[in-house]
């Protein structure tokens, strides 16, 4: 009962945090904020006073819970301070950025005050690596939403809670769907915040945390090693530090190289050196992390015939979408061949490269065939193929576009949904069911058709657990998209095909849209937020995080062989 009550007030505290901007608003919303605040204050005071009353020694109780007592005093101080500012809201003018920043920092402290009794609850959440990963993403999204709601982040009025949550989820989940224009709605500080959120989401907050630990030469506990092994999908705990440093170093090197290559392109477009540098960095990080955020209102449509930008952006997307494991394997092959050592690529690398190449080539040809007489004409033939190639690559969950999606034919949208649904490679910044999953399923179907007992791929047997995981991923993806799309077809006034395209794009963390994102209702936005979150973390991580303890049983049950399949 107590844990349930605690969970309720934790959720209430988060809701109150997002409704803070309505504190001085007359009417229902203002009263809701006041009720939430006083409810939380009553709970915190009541909880502490009840413990004080039931304790045999009051001074001993305070000494044992000194940290909690001091935090309660801090919360009371912040509560009174907020109340004082609320009565004098004219002080918080739109142009007084310093006061606004201070007030929002106080709100961050305030939420920590509300969470003062959740240490044991959080500890129970992070007993599993998968739960730790999920929890870290949730915390980054919540804190990022609070920061992006600050007036100093927007060129106009502050973002509403739902729009801030949508934008931050899209950035952290490296999706790229937007409800407000990134180019015009945010100040440079807001755009920089989105850039940092993309980088955090692309690498993962936990991976960055471990990087800082290694950077300052700190040691990891066995618990941390298990968590890191889970994140890197590595069973060798002795090479964890080397793997983390390689991933972070490779990421920054590729992004910096992309920035340098993009700089002359944006300088030629008329931007100043400072603006061109920031634009180059932003789009390089956004492309490599497969985020799809752009600082142009039309995404990259104005650069559809710029060969250099198209090649650089697609190269960054491919590099980010084939995974770090494949990149390091390719590097190892080149290095060893240079040293005249005979090595071969890993099976995973072969599957990723072959399937990705086939999807890219077929997608380019199909899109060109379907659109060359409509949206691509009368551009030169090389420009048409360039646009088709760029759009095929960005469907690997990047989210940029050089074509007007609202004018594409239904056939093209269906083909694009198929490419988005597959996505990139496992262990990369891309989404979708992954090309690795497709390769495993194809191997299973081929073996089943030939009547083979063993499922082989490159003369290696695939474990049955992998087959089960592959079909679980596909079933989870189809079910999630079907449920949210069905609900949105009821709540939204948009064509069914556009809604289906939107949901597939969200789950696959692509970020492409036919133009309906900004017109979605709060319910529709919530559904897309949920799909982006599910797609970024992946079905296996979420199912593992939500599973209970393993139960061993000596009982052997009879097989249900009477169930008919197919």
User: 417 vs 136, which has greater pLDDT?
Assistant: 417
Beta bridge partners of 457: 460
Pairing of strands 460-461, 456-457: antiparallel
Residue 447 within any structural domain of the chain: yes
Q: Report which of 291, 308, 284 is spatially closest to residue 168, judged by C-alpha positions.
A: 291
Note whether 304 and 431 are same-domain residues: yes
Tokens of 374: 């409509």
Worst-scoring range by mean pLDDT, 278-282, 378-382, 522-526?
Answer: 378-382
What does the pLDDT read at residue 517? 93
Does the pTM surpass 0.85? The reply is no
Tell me which residue of 182, 203, 216 sits closest to 255, measured CA to CA.
Answer: 203
The number of folded domains in the chain is: 2
Is 318 inside a domain boundary?
yes
- Spatial separation of the C-alpha atoms in residues 285 and 199, rounded to whole Å: 7
Quote the pLDDT of residue 103: 47
Does residue 550 lie within any of the structural domains? Answer: no
Report the alpha-carbon distance of residue 424 to residue 435 in Å, rounded: 6
- Which of 118-132, 399-413, 516-530 shows the highest mean pLDDT? 516-530
Domain containing residue 263: 237-545
In total, the chain counts a number of residues equal to 566
Q: What is the pLDDT of residues 480-497, one digit of tens each?
A: 999 999 999 999 999 999
| 140: in domain | no
In a domain, 554, yes or no: no
Q: How many helices (H) and strands (E) does the chain have?
A: 24, 2
Contacts of 415 (CB under 8 A, 6+ apart): 363, 366, 367, 370
Whether 116 and 247 map to the same domain: the answer is no
pLDDT reported for residue 545? 65
Rounded CA-CA distance 298/312 in Å is 18
| In-domain check, residue 198 | no
Average pLDDT, the chain: 81
pLDDT at 100: 44
Domain termination site, one of 125, 160, 176: 125
Q: Which of 72, 106, 125 is the last residue of a domain?
A: 125
Q: Is residue 179 part of a domain?
A: no
- Tell me if 552 is assigned to some domain: no
pLDDT digits (tens, 9 = 90+) for 62-100: 877 776 677 678 767 767 766 665 444 444 444 444 444
User: pLDDT tens digits, residue range 6-29?
Assistant: 667 666 766 666 666 666 667 777
User: For residue 412, is pLDDT > 90?
Assistant: yes
Alpha carbon distance 510, 173 (integer Å): 10
Find the mean pLDDT for residues 410-417.
Answer: 94
Question: Which pLDDT score, from 0 to 100, does residue 217 have?
Answer: 56
Q: Do 539 and 390 share a structural domain?
A: yes
Q: What is the pLDDT of residue 94?
A: 42
User: Is 60 a residue whose pLDDT tops 70?
Assistant: yes
Say whether 186 sits in a helix, a strand or coil: strand
Query: What pLDDT is attached to residue 530?
Result: 94
Quickly list DSSP for 445-498: HHHHHHT-SS-EETTEEPPHHHHHHHHHHHHHHHHHHHHHHHHHHHH--S-HHH
């Amino acid at each position: 009962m107590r844990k349930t009550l605690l969970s309720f007030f934790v959720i209430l505290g988060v809701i109150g945090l997002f409704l803070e901007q309505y504190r001085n608003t007359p009417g229902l919303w203002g009263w809701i904020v006041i009720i939430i605040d006083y409810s939380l204050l009553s709970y915190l005071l009541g909880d502490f006073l009840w413990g004080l009353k039931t304790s045999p020694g009051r001074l001993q109780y305070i000494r044992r819970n000194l940290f909690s007592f001091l935090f309660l005093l801090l919360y009371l101080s912040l509560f009174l301070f907020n109340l004082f500012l609320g009565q004098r809201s004219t002080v918080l003018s739109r142009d007084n950025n310093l006061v606004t920043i201070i007030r929002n920092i106080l709100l961050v402290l305030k939420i920590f005050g509300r969470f003062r009794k959740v240490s044991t609850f959080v500890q129970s959440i992070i007993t599993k690596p998968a739960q730790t990963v999920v929890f870290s993403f949730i915390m980054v999204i919540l804190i990022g939403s609070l920061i992006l709601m600050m007036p100093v982040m927007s060129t106009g009025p502050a973002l509403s809670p739902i729009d801030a949550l949508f934008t931050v989820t899209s950035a952290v989940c490296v999706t790229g769907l937007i409800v407000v224009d990134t180019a015009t709605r945010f100040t440079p500080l807001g755009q920089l915040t989105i850039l940092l959120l993309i980088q955090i989401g692309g690498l993962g907050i936990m991976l960055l945390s471990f990087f800082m630990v290694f950077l300052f030469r700190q040691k990891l506990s066995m618990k941390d090693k298990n968590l890191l092994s889970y994140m890197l999908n590595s069973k060798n705990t002795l090479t964890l530090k080397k793997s983390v440093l390689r991933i972070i170093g490779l990421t920054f090197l590729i992004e910096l190289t992309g920035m340098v290559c993009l700089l002359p392109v944006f300088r030629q477009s008329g931007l100043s050196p400072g603006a061109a540098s920031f634009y180059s960095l932003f789009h390089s990080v956004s492309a490599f992390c497969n985020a799809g955020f752009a600082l142009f209102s039309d995404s990259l449509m104005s650069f559809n015939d710029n060969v250099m930008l198209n090649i650089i952006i697609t190269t960054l997307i491919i590099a980010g979408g084939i995974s770090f494991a494949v990149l390091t394997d390719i590097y190892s092959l080149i290095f060893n061949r240079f040293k005249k050592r005979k090595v071969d690529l890993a099976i995973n690398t072969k599957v990723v490269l072959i399937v990705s190449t086939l999807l890219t080539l077929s997608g380019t040809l199909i899109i060109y065939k379907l659109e060359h007489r409509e949206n691509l004409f009368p551009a030169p033939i090389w420009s048409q193929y360039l646009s088709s190639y760029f759009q095929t690559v960005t469907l690997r969950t990047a989210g940029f576009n050089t074509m007007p999606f609202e004018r594409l034919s239904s056939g093209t949208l269906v083909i694009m949904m198929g490419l988005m649904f597959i996505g990139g490679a496992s262990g990369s910044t891309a989404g979708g069911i992954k090309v690795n999953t497709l390769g495993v399923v194809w191997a299973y179907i081929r073996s089943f058709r030939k009547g083979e007992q063993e499922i082989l791929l490159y003369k290696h047997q695939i474990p049955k657990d992998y087959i089960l995981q592959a079909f679980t991923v596909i079933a989870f993806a189809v079910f999630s998209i079907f449920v949210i799309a069905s609900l949105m077809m009821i709540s939204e006034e948009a064509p069914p095909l556009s809604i289906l395209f939107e949901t597939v794009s969200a789950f696959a963390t692509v970020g492409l849209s036919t133009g309906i994102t900004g017109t979605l209702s709060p319910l529709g936005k919530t559904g897309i937020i949920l799909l982006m979150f599910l797609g970024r973390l992946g079905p296996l991580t979420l199912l593992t995080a939500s599973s209970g303890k393993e139960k061993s049983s000596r009982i052997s049950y009879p097989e249900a062989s009477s169930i008919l399949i197919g």
